C-alpha cells in the first residue's frame, strides 16, 4: 500500500514536470508566433501630421525631440535599440527623463515611423521591454514626407503650387535642371 502511494506521488511530480515543461514550450511557441505576426508587412503608413515651414530638415516634419530620437536610431549601429540606449545618447547633450524618451518613442511608433517588439531579458530577474527600429530609413522617410506634403499642397492649391514652384526654380537658376527632369520623366512615362 505504501509503494502505490509513492508511485502516485512520483506520478504527480512527473505530471507536474510535464505540464511545466509543456507550458514553457507553449509560451515559447506563442512568443514566436507573436514575433512573426508583428514582422509581417503592415498597411500602416508613416504619418506626417505636421509641416513646419520654418523647421530645418527633419524638424520640418517632426518635433525637435522626435527628430533627435529618430536620428539617433538611424545612426545607431545596434538595431533594434532600447529606450535606455537612446536615453544615454540624449543625456550627453542635455538632462532628460526616461519617461520623456519612452513616450516620444511610443509616439513615433504610433505615427508609423518606428517598429517595435517586446523583448524578454533575464538579468537579475525577468523583465520585458520594447526594442525599436525604424520603419523607413532616413532617405525613404524624407522622400515619403516631401511627397505627402506636395500631394496635400497640389490637392488643395493645384495651379498656385505649380506656378510658385516654377518661379522659385527660376529665381534659383534651377529651371534648366527642372526642365531636364520633366523631359526625362515624360520619356519614362511614354516607354
In the chain, domain spans: 57-136, 143-190
Which stretch of DSSP H or E encloses residue 116?
strand 114-121
Coil, strand, or helix at residue 125?
coil
Give 61-98 pLDDT, tens digit per residue.
899 999 999 999 999 988 899 999 999 999 999 999 99
Q: For residue 104, count other CB atoms closer than 10 A to its CB.
A: 21
Please count the CA atoms within 13 angstroms of the CA of 72 that sit on its side-chain side.
24
Residues with Cβ within 8 Å of residue 67, at least 6 apart in sequence: 57, 58, 59, 61
The Cα-based distances of 189 to 55, 130, 186 in angstroms read 34, 44, 5
- Topology (CATH level 3) of domain 57-136: Arc Repressor Mutant, subunit A (1.10.10)
Tell me phi and psi for residue 135, to 5 degrees.
-75, -35
pLDDT top residue among 170 and 4: 170
pLDDT single digits (tens) 112-158 = 999 999 987 766 667 788 999 999 999 998 888 888 888 888 888 88
Q: How far is 159 from 181, CA to CA, in rounded Å?
A: 19
Amino acid at each position: 500500500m505504501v509503494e502505490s502511494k509513492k508511485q502516485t506521488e512520483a506520478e504527480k511530480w512527473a505530471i507536474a514536470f510535464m505540464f511545466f515543461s509543456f507550458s514553457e514550450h507553449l509560451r515559447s511557441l506563442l512568443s514566436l508566433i507573436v514575433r512573426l505576426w508583428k514582422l509581417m508587412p503592415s498597411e500602416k503608413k508613416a504619418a506626417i501630421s505636421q509641416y513646419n515651414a520654418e523647421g530645418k530638415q527633419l524638424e520640418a516634419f517632426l518635433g525637435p525631440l522626435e527628430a533627435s530620437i529618430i536620428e539617433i536610431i538611424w545612426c545607431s549601429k545596434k538595431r533594434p535599440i532600447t529606450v535606455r540606449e537612446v536615453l544615454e545618447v540624449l543625456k550627453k547633450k542635455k538632462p532628460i527623463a526616461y519617461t520623456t524618451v519612452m513616450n516620444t518613442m511610443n509616439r513615433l511608433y504610433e505615427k508609423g515611423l518606428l517598429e517595435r517588439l517586446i523583448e524578454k531579458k533575464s538579468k537579475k530577474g525577468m523583465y520585458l521591454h520594447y526594442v525599436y527600429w525604424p520603419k523607413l530609413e532616413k532617405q525613404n522617410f524624407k522622400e515619403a514626407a516631401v511627397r505627402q506634403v506636395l500631394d496635400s499642397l497640389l490637392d488643395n492649391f493645384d495651379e498656385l503650387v505649380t506656378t510658385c514652384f516654377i518661379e522659385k526654380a527660376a529665381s534659383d537658376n534651377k529651371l534648366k535642371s527642372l526642365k531636364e527632369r520633366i523631359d526625362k520623366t515624360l520619356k519614362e512615362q511614354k516607354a
